[in-house]
Amino acid sequence: MSNTHEKPRIFPASPKNFKARPEVRRIGYREVARRDLYHSLLIIPWPGFFGLMALAYVTFNLTFAALYFAQAGAIANARPGAFADAFFFSVQTMATIGYGDMHPITFYANLVVTVEVLMGLAGLALATGLIFARFSRPTARVMFSRVAVVSAYNGVPHLMFRAANQRRNQILEAQVSLALLRDERSAEGIVMRRFHDLAVARGRTPMFALTWTVMHAIDAASPLHGASPESLAAQNAEIIITLIGIDETYAQTIYARHSYAAQDLLWGRRFADILQVMEDGTRAIDYRRFHDVVEIEAKRSD
């Protein structure tokens, strides 16, 4: 009788196979979003933000150019009937550049200049504040494994996933929490989405600098007890992860979140080892295998 092990096979988790959570349609959302313009400007992607700024900038100058153009001869040295001269004079006035080639010569033009400078200063201050708020907003650069695994640890099935701090600093007093979200049917036949907290083996670490393998024991007290890939898929189950901590550079609280759908849970697999010992004795972490999982081969006896 002899026990043999087959060579573990590596299952790289390719980004192409990762399925993002489907978006939920929000009916009537635009009416609500219009009331919170500041929040919308903070969360919009940078290309959209600069696109809106450019649109507002051009619209602002076109409006005041039309006001200057309405009175012939209001701007000295401007070509008669040249709307472009009025537009560029508005640009110079808004930015308080004042090249001196063109200047207002009528009471009407000076009045428009006064209004434009006031609104231009307010607009520039608002744009500066928005850009500063977007840049100074503390964010967490935490990477989560693309899949989670369910495998035995000390004889007990565990749900496990990896997290890594992508910055070269530490997240102090890091805490992670897990929740199971699934469809449940009540005794009256009503289907509701319910949250269930999942206890973790170690939900807090004083310093999160490199990697962290989060584990949840699927014992008799676990909401996942008796679950299977088929049952979780039928319940539209989802694992919600929230990680919070204090960034030592910003000295501010940061957070990261992630979720795993039922198809992102790999049963009977474990994560590949990423801790290595170099020839000089130093330890190294191979992030190239951060998302890789290994199939657990059962022992065979001859």
Same domain flag for 70 and 106: yes
Spatial distance between the Cα atoms of 268 and 150, rounded to a whole number of angstroms:
6
Which H helix or E strand runs over 208?
strand 204-208
Same domain flag for 125 and 213: no
CATH number at residue 109: 1.10.287.70
Give Cβ neighbours of residue 65 (< 8 Å, ≥ 6 apart): 83, 86, 87, 89, 90
33: amino acid identity, one letter:
A
Question: Is 19 within the bounds of a domain?
Answer: no
- Across the chain, mean pLDDT equals 87
What are the residue ranges of helices labelled H in 80-225?
A: 83-94, 107-136
Total of domains in the chain: 2
Which H helix or E strand runs over 171?
strand 171-185
- Tell me the mean pLDDT in the region 171-195: 92
Same domain flag for 191 and 267: yes
Q: What is the pTM of this model?
A: 0.72
Please write the tens of the pLDDT for every residue from 228-284: 999 999 999 999 999 999 999 888 899 999 999 999 999 999 999 988 888 887 888
153: amino acid identity, one letter:
Y
Question: Is 7 within the bounds of a domain?
Answer: no
Spatial distance between the Cα atoms of 67 and 62, rounded to a whole number of angstroms:
9
Collapsing DSSP to helix, strand or coil, 8 comes out as coil
Same domain flag for 117 and 145: no
Domain enclosing residue 224, as ranges:
139-301
Task: Kindly tell me if the per-residue pLDDT of 17 is higher than 50.
Answer: no
CATH number at residue 182: 2.60.40.1400
Same domain flag for 124 and 167: no
Same domain flag for 162 and 197: yes
Question: Is 21 within the bounds of a domain?
Answer: no
Same domain flag for 37 and 85: yes
Question: Is 9 within the bounds of a domain?
Answer: no
Same domain flag for 232 and 293: yes
